[in-house]
Amino acid sequence: MHILITGAAGMIGRKLTARLVKDGALNGKLIERLTLIDVSAPPKPEKFSGKVETAAADIADPAADEKALASRPEVIFHLAGVVSGEAEVDFDKGIRVNLDGSRALLEAIRTAGGYRPRLVFTSSIAVFGAPFPDAIPDDFHTTPLTSYGTEKAIVELLLADYTRRGFLDGVGIRLPTINVRPGRPNKAASGFFSSIIREPLSGEEAVLPVDESVLHWHASPRAAVGFAEQLSQAGFEPLGVEMSELLKGGGSVKCCTLEVYS
């Protein structure tokens, strides 16, 4: 099997790469080749006996996408994106990477001809809009409150339509905030949730910029990788009939609703 990961230099990308290398197989097939791309070339994984290609690539560039897909990877993990706070501050950058980049990748797949990979897209719970209930059901309205959420919601619709048309086999995961992110804080609007745990452990002060009564949804990096890996595989039957039918049509689901990962 050949696997392509966009955004492979990011935290989830690196951890997903490590998980795949450790497992050695996906969906019962030996992983023989990995193609890892990001705006900065991702590091090559250690202890992988197969072929690894890493490259600095802009997914908004059709030529870069065409090159990444030339060998027709069977599974694509589309993780590349500009985080929430950065997309809000720099509207043009958010649109170019999150929306235009995703559409360029989808178009490269469509125009390849005779090629239908499984594509796992990391969406976000930012596609939902207030007021929020204590538990968000799968049919809760998607009225995003940010540019980031809007970009993710648009890509979800494109993913569903490209799947309906038979151009690819796509599924999206609406990830919550991933805690705890290692290293320095990134520009995600929810990054302080990692900071209030990570910084005190290093003896540093951290500021909680919201009221203590605020409720939020979280997943660990390990769980997020598990969600992506599971949804890259063939069947959705463990999720139930209704969810399976939704995903076969290119739907997107919240990670926290998937009991199979408990």
Indicate if the pLDDT at residue 167 is higher than 80: yes
Query: φ and ψ at 8, to 5 degrees?
Result: -70, -15
What's the average model confidence in pLDDT over 45-69? 94
pLDDT of res. 68: 95
**Highest-pLDDT range among 15-29, 97-111, 244-258:** 97-111
Question: How much is the pLDDT for 243?
Answer: 53
Q: Which of 115, 148, 162, 261 is catalytic?
A: 148
Return the number of other C-beta atoms located less than 10 Å from residue 76's C-beta.
25
Is residue 14 over pLDDT 70?
Answer: yes
Stretch 39-46: mean pLDDT: 92
pLDDT, average across residues 137-165: 92
pLDDT for the residue 145: 92
- pLDDT at residue number 257: 33
Q: Is residue 44 scored above 60 in pLDDT?
A: yes
pLDDT of residue 255: 42
pLDDT at position 242 over 60: no
**Buried residues in 171-202 as b, exposed as e (16+ CB within 10 A):** bbbbbbbbbebeeeeeebbbbbbbbeebbeee
pLDDT class of 256 with cuts at 50, 70, 90: very low
Is the pLDDT assigned to residue 121 strictly greater than 60? yes
Asked if 185 and 194 touch (Cβ cutoff 8 Å), the reply is: yes
Catalytic annotation present for 148:
yes
CA distance 234 to 40: 31
- The domains found in the chain, sorted by start residue, are 2-176+217-261 (3.40.50.720), 178-216 (3.90.25.10)
pLDDT at 261 over 80: no
Specify which residues 175 forms β-bridges with: 124
pLDDT band at 210 (very low <50, low <70, confident <90, very high): confident
pLDDT at 247: 57
Calculate the CA 13 to chain-centre distance: 9
Q: Is residue 260 scored above 60 in pLDDT?
A: no
Q: Which of 1-5, 38-42, 156-160, 185-189 has the lowest mean pLDDT?
A: 185-189
- Find the mean pLDDT for residues 11-34: 93
Average pLDDT over residues 233-259: 52
> Is residue 149 classed as helix, strand or coil in its secondary structure?
helix
Mean pLDDT over 184-194 rounds to 67
Looking up tokens 């979280």 gives 218
What share of the chain has pLDDT > 70, as a percent? 82
Neighbours of 59 (CB within 10 A): 26
> Which comes out higher in pLDDT, residue 245 or 153?
153
Taking the CB of residue 82, how many other CB atoms lie within 10 A of it? 24
Tokens at residue 155, please?
């890509």
- State which amino acid sits at residue 24: G
